[in-house]
Amino acid sequence: MAYKLRLVQRFHAASRAEFLELEQRFAMLEREIFAFPKGRRYMPYSGREAMNTLIWECEFDSLDAAQQAVAFLEQDARHEELARLQLPYFQDSYTEIYKLLEES
């Protein structure tokens, strides 16, 4: 069964450049460090979410693997240091996990 982990982050629109610059550093960690979950980043083009929202998504084969990824990110000092720098730009953030209902 597949699961999708989503991190949704709404940031101050006036700080878009600073927020996205830090987000590029998160992306660099993903590319350079094998243990980091490899996700994809999206920003709304149209829809419910405001334009100053970043959505990071990653798929996992099991719920346990998705939960382990969350635990890893919460415990990794490199991730936490970048998160601390990004925190002043946040308006809101939340985590979601979705379960795939049907396989192709």
What is the pLDDT at residue 91? 98
Beta partners for residue 90, in sequence order: 11
Quote the pTM value. Answer: 0.91
Domains with residue ranges and CATH for the chain: 3-99 (3.30.70.100)
pLDDT in tens, 56-101: 999 999 999 999 999 999 999 999 999 999 999 999 999 999 999 9
Sign of the torsion formed by the C-alpha atoms of 43, 44, 48 and 51: positive
Q: Which residues contact 19 (CB under 8 A, 6 or more apart)?
A: 11, 12, 54, 86, 89
